[in-house]
Amino acid sequence: MSRAMLGLWEEAARDLRVASNLDYDEEVGMSLKKVEPNARKIEEHRRKYERLRKQKGQKKSQPKKQQQAEAQDQEALSALKDGQVISIHSGGELETKLGAASKTSRLAILYFTATRCGPCRFISPIYTSLAEKYPKVVFLKVDIDEARDVAARWNISSVPSFFFVKNGKEVDSAVGADKSTLERKIIQHAGSL
């Protein structure tokens, strides 16, 4: 009973159980009836405390994870220029821009062009005006003479060629300098902007 007086209820209950198994008498039984409920309450409080401590730890880690995700989204957004056409000069640069578009769940349009191409010269100002009209779409422009590795990777056989990429996957393509087809596909794949 001295352990119970010190507040060591679990040890007191264990000692009394052992004592009652060895030599049962009324006094040990009465003490055990007093000590066991307190030991159970202490165990319940301990479980509740552990559960609350875990929940508090999870709540602390959630804002950190959320801040990291927001920082990554901001970094991805800073790589994209809303309402502008972004010129691509290498495969690495293209992957960076497509990755940023994917992280922000934006439609990306790859426009393959060449300086010597007449239809490309016709569609380029239209492509720029579409970038201004749809600022939440990522407009990328690749000169096949400058970035031959990118043109080879995308199997470009004629220009102007347009590829529509959403969430890292090619969802559509178009060849030729047709403004209405281009705008229709932007609306189709970008949804309401």
Backbone angles phi, psi at 86, to 5 degrees: -100, 120
Neighbours of 165 (CB within 10 A): 22
Neighbours of 51 (CB within 10 A): 10
Amino acid at 80: L
Residue 120 annotated in active site:
yes
DSSP for 59-124 reads HHHHHHHHHHHHHHHHHHHHHS-TTSEEEE-SHHHHHHHHHHHHHTT-EEEEEEE-TT-HHHHHHH
Q: Is the dihedral of CA 51, 53, 59, 61 positive or negative?
A: negative
For tokens 């087809």, what's the residue?
181
| Active-site position among 120, 142, 150, 151 | 120
Neighbours of 181 (CB within 10 A): 13
Residue 117 annotated in active site:
yes
| Active-site position among 101, 107, 117, 137 | 117
Query: Which of the residues are catalytic?
Result: 117, 120
